[in-house]
């Protein structure tokens, strides 16, 4: 145990004396959070097309015309969902929202066309993803524009249509753009821990020449590698804590079920650790290592919903996203922070994250043993 | 015996790095493994240090098998790797503390040992400076100090003087001799500098292409060439001259390689004029001739037919 602490302490001290690594781990994600949040916010309020699902319970000529108007809209991508019966539940809406894949689910109720024709003002139910609710006004605007377009042909009193936003989860307040970018960029940059581990092993083997000296000491190689991984885990915890506390204090980011979030992050941190072991085992060239890590961090961030919310991605990318650990930690974190979910609701995410870590660890450890 | 290698072989793909290599080293010896680059020196040290597994044969340190009792063996050996193995952003003291901890040293005992090895390395005044501020020579000495910290029974040094200026090299050799004499620590080190071996070592194993060429006391090997070595650069008729010399001059050793004729003799004063006379007789052209004290370079040439640095 003393030896494990000795190795861990050594690695922490080495990092502490490497200001560039600290910049990469803390300052870089922070700068990106601030800079890209602004840019990201502009993108969302600009010409980005919003994906929503539409459920037509009315099946009237009017509702069909309205949906066609939406499909023709430049600002909407419509997934037309066949109606099953005459009722629609919140659970069905939640399933269609798909953890951020769609921004909203619009339900056109039965009798809607008739009510419009009769001159009344029927309520239109619009289920929003609370995690993206800051962008909800975009949905409302786009729907109203589509109604106006449809109204030009069919002439019902479109202005009288009442768009009703209904947050799916009781009591959840709405997240800001920082509440997307702070966890997003934090989880994205946490993956640099893998690079940190791989670079540390590379430096000991090829730059400092200390690997053999460590290896031939009476301390077991498992202890030496474990000490390195624990040091990286501690650094990862400090990195996430610093960025989340900053998001909370400076940008008013909600933390929701904080202990559950801590557990999710704790499990997620195991993934870059195990991945680092794989990278260290498979890549022995410093330049290749750097380029591989840059690419990996950006790819996982982009695909997993760290850089860009999932609902903005095209369908094939959303399908791929499920194979990235960032997708599972992002959806779990957003569920816990903004959708009022509890630990039980994110059990699947936890299991997937631990499975990712376990699989990578098994491969990494086996290869690492032979490679070193 | 503190170290025994018995029929050790190691292969890297198609390259046979060690072939049926056997040797033994007694406690307190200063022992060198000498050979040209690629001869198998680092492979042999790495196998003794438990860093590489031999394909066949056995290696024992103080009677403990390096494969079966790795942890035990690792407590008995100290390693000075060919490349300096230190954390550059740590000071000398921090490096020594870290590696001392790995060897189970703690508290006052560790402090005392650190003081001792810093003294040996001559780094007491620089002990708190970070290693990245050290000169190459200081790093080499700290590298050696780390290897000595846990007072290993067997100190393995892989080319400790490679790339070091002559002055620093001499200092390192002096340090090693002093350590051996004061502590009785066995030193096994690899080098391709035969002068170092002649200065420092009791015995030497000369290896080439992974094979043991000879293993003997340095004095015996030097004596095998006689009291002097005549080196003659022959530009024409060297084969005729070699044939003529055989049986004519009382040469202990005779070899010829690329026109360089080497004769180990007991009496250079008599042999030299005789050599020139024979060259004249057979029509050989001697362009340059030197008489030298026997060296391991010449031993290597006589045994392998080529120079150590070829």
**CATH label of the domain that carries residue B157:** 3.40.50.300
Same domain? For B50 and B199 the reply is yes
Evaluate whether residue B299 is within a structural domain: no
Same domain? For A364 and A254 the reply is yes
Same domain? For A146 and A294 the reply is no
pLDDT at A267: 95
Tell if the CB–CB gap between A210 and B71 is shorter than 8 Å: no
pLDDT value at B92 more than 90: yes
Return d(Cα B59, Cα B56) in angstroms, integer. 10
Nearest CA-CA distance, residue A29 and chain B, Å: 26
Q: What's the CATH code of the domain at B249?
A: 3.30.70.260
Same domain? For B259 and B179 the reply is no
Backbone dihedral angles phi then psi of residue B116, each to the nearest 5 degrees? -60, -50
Q: Which of B221, B246, B262 is the last residue of a domain?
A: B221
Return d(Cα B78, Cα B260) in angstroms, integer. 41
pLDDT at A269: 95
In percent, how much of chain B has pLDDT > 70? 97
pLDDT at B77: 93
pLDDT at B129: 95
Same domain? For B184 and B246 the reply is no
Same domain? For A183 and A76 the reply is no
Same domain? For A130 and A225 the reply is no
Evaluate whether residue B99 is within a structural domain: yes
Q: What's the CATH code of the domain at A121?
A: 3.40.1710.10
Same domain? For A200 and A101 the reply is no
A221 touches chain B (CB under 8 A): no
Which residues in chain A are contacts of B102 at CB distance < 8 A?
3, 6, 214, 217-219
Q: In terms of pLDDT, which residue wins out, B156 or A105? A: B156
Backbone dihedral angles phi then psi of residue A256, each to the nearest 5 degrees? 55, -130
Tell if the CB–CB gap between B98 and A6 is shorter than 8 Å: yes
> What are the pLDDT digits (tens) for B287-304?
888 888 888 888 887 787
Q: Which residues contact A306 (CB under 8 A, 6 or more apart)?
A: A183, A184, A185, A187, A188, A300, A326, A330
Same domain? For B13 and B55 the reply is yes
**Residue B236, both tokens:** 């024409």
Provide the pairing of β-strand A162-167 with A76-81: unpaired
Same domain? For A304 and A182 the reply is yes
> What are the pLDDT digits (tens) for B20-63?
989 999 999 999 998 888 888 889 999 999 989 999 999 999 99
Backbone dihedral angles phi then psi of residue A215, each to the nearest 5 degrees? -65, -35
Q: Which of B186, B221, B256 is the last residue of a domain?
A: B221
Same domain? For B199 and B255 the reply is no
pLDDT at A44: 47
CB atoms closer than 10 angstroms to residue B257: 15
Q: Which of A167, A195, A228 is the last residue of a domain?
A: A167
Q: Domain total for chain B? A: 2
Same domain? For B161 and B52 the reply is yes
Give pLDDT < 50 ranges for chain A.
Answer: 42-47, 152-174
Which chain A residue has its CA at the smallest distance from B79's CA? A213
pLDDT value at B138 more than 70: yes
Q: Domain total for chain A? A: 2
Same domain? For A207 and A313 the reply is yes
Rounded to an integer, what is the distance from CA A108 to the centroid of its chain?
A: 30
Evaluate whether residue B246 is within a structural domain: yes
Predicted ipTM beyond 0.90:
no
Q: Which of A167, A188, A223 is the last residue of a domain?
A: A167
Can you give the three-state secondary structure of A193-252, one letter per residue? HHHHHHHHHHHHHHHCCCHHHHHCCCCCHHHHHHHHHHHHHHHHHHHHHHHHHHHHHHHC
Rounded to an integer, what is the distance from CA A81 to the centroid of its chain?
A: 25
Which residues in chain B are contacts of A13 at CB distance < 8 A?
90, 94
H or E stretch at A190? helix A177-190
Return d(Cα B68, Cα B60) in angstroms, integer. 10
Same domain? For A89 and A199 the reply is no
In chain B, which residues touch A (CB < 8 A)? 49-51, 71, 74-75, 77, 79, 81, 83-90, 94, 98-99, 101-104, 146
Return d(Cα A268, Cα A80) in angstroms, integer. 35
pLDDT at B16: 87
Q: Which residues contact A293 (CB under 8 A, 6 or more apart)?
A: A192, A194, A195, A198, A279
The answer to whether residues B10 and B59 touch, using CB atoms and an 8 Å cutoff, is no
**Residue A88, both tokens:** 């629609």
pLDDT at B57: 94
Same domain? For A189 and A327 the reply is yes
Which residues in chain A are contacts of B77 at CB distance < 8 A?
216
DSSP-derived 3-state class of residue B228: strand
Same domain? For A207 and A353 the reply is yes
pLDDT at A358: 96
Same domain? For A203 and A334 the reply is yes
Indicate the residue of B49, B101, B146 with minimum beta-carbon distance to A6: B101
In percent, how much of chain A has pLDDT > 70? 80
Backbone dihedral angles phi then psi of residue A10, each to the nearest 5 degrees? -60, -45
Tell if the CB–CB gap between B74 and A210 is shorter than 8 Å: no
Same domain? For A124 and A213 the reply is no
pLDDT at A228: 92
Evaluate whether residue B43 is within a structural domain: yes
Nearest CA-CA distance, residue B155 and chain A, Å: 12
Evaluate whether residue B28 is within a structural domain: yes
The range of the structural domain enclosing residue B264 comes to 226-293
- As a whole number, the mean pLDDT across chain B is 87
CA distances from B246 to B36, B100, B226, B252, B259 (A): 29, 60, 16, 10, 17
DSSP-derived 3-state class of residue A169: coil
Evaluate whether residue B171 is within a structural domain: yes
**Residue A333, both tokens:** 């974190």
Evaluate whether residue B75 is within a structural domain: yes
The range of the structural domain enclosing residue A16 comes to 2-41+175-371
Evaluate whether residue B209 is within a structural domain: yes
Nearest CA-CA distance, residue A277 and chain B, Å: 20
Rounded to an integer, what is the distance from CA A364 to the centroid of its chain?
A: 25
């Amino acid at each position: 145990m003393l030896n494990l602490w000795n190795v861990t302490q050594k690695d922490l001290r080495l990092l502490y004396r490497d200001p560039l690594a600290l910049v990469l781990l803390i300052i870089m994600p922070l700068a990106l959070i601030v800079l890209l949040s602004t840019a990201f916010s502009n993108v969302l309020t600009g010409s980005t097309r919003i994906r929503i699902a539409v459920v037509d319970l009315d099946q009237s000529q009017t509702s069909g015309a309205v949906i066609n108007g939406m499909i023709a809209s430049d600002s909407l991508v419509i997934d037309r969902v066949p109606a099953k019966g005459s009722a629609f539940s919140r659970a069905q809406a939640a399933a269609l929202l798909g953890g951020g894949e769609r921004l909203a689910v619009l339900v056109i109720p039965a009798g809607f066309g008739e009510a419009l024709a009769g001159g009344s003002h029927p309520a239109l139910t619009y289920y929003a993803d609370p995690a993206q609710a800051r962008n909800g006004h975009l949905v409302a605007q786009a729907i109203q524009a589509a109604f106006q377009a449809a109204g030009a042909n069919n002439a019902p009193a479109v202005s009288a249509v009442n768009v009703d936003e209904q947050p799916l989860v009781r009591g959840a307040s709405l997240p800001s753009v920082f509440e997307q970018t702070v966890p997003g960029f934090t989880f994205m940059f946490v993956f640099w821990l893998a690079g940190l581990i791989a670079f540390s092993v590379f430096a000991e083997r090829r730059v400092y020449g200390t690997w053999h000296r460590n290896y031939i000491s009476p301390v077991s190689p498992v202890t030496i590698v474990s000490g390195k991984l624990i040091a990286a885990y501690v650094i990862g915890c400090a990195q996430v804590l610093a960025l989340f506390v900053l998001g909370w204090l400076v940008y008013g980011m909600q933390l929701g079920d904080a202990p559950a979030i801590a557990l999710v992050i704790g499990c997620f941190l195991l993934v870059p650790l195990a991945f680092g072991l794989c990278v260290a085992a498979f890549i022995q060239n410093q330049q290749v290592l750097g380029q591989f890590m840059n690419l990996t961090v950006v790819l996982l961030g982009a695909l997993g919903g760290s850089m860009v919310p999932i609902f903005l991605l095209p369908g094939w990318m959303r399908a791929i996203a499920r194979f990235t650990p960032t997708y599972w930690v992002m959806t779990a974190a957003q569920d816990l922070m903004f959708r009022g979910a509890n630990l039980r609701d994110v059990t699947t995410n936890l299991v997937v994250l631990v499975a990712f870590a376990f699989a990578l660890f098994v491969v990494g450890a086996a290869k690492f043993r032979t490679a070193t | 015996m503190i170290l025994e290698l018995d029929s050790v072989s190691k292969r890297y793909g198609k390259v046979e790095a060690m072939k049926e290599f056997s040797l033994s080293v007694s406690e307190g010896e200063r022992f060198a493994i000498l050979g040209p680059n690629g001869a198998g020196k680092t492979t042999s040290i790495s196998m003794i240090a438990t860093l590489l597994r031999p394909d066949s044969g056995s290696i024992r340190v103080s009677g403990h098998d390096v494969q079966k009792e790795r942890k035990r063996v690792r407590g008995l050996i100290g390693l000075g790797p060919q490349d300096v193995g230190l954390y550059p952003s740590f000071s000398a003291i921090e490096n020594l503390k870290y590696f001392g901890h790995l060897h189970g040293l703690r508290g006052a005992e560790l402090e005392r040992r650190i003081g001792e090895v810093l003294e040996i390395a001559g780094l007491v005044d620089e002990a708190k400076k970070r290693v990245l501020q050290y000169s190459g020579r200081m790093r080499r000495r700290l590298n050696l100090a780390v290897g000595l910290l846990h007072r290993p029974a067997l100190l393995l040094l892989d080319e400790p003087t490679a790339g070091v200026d002559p002055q620093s090299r001499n200092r390192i050799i002096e340090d090693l001799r002093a350590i051996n004499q004061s502590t009785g620590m066995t030193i096994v080190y690899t080098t391709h500098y035969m002068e170092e071996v002649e200065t420092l070592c009791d015995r030497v194993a000369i290896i080439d292409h992974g094979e043991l060429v000879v293993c003997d006391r340095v004095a015996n090997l030097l004596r095998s060439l006689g009291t002097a070595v005549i080196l003659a650069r022959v530009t024409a008729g060297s084969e005729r001259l070699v044939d003529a010399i055989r049986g004519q001059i009382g040469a202990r050793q005779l070899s010829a390689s690329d026109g360089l004729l080497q004769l180990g003799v007991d009496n250079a004063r008599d042999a030299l004029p005789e050599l020139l006379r024979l060259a004249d007789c057979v029509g050989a052209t001697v362009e340059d001739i030197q008489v030298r004290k026997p060296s391991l370079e010449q031993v290597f040439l006589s045994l392998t037919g080529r120079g150590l640095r070829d």
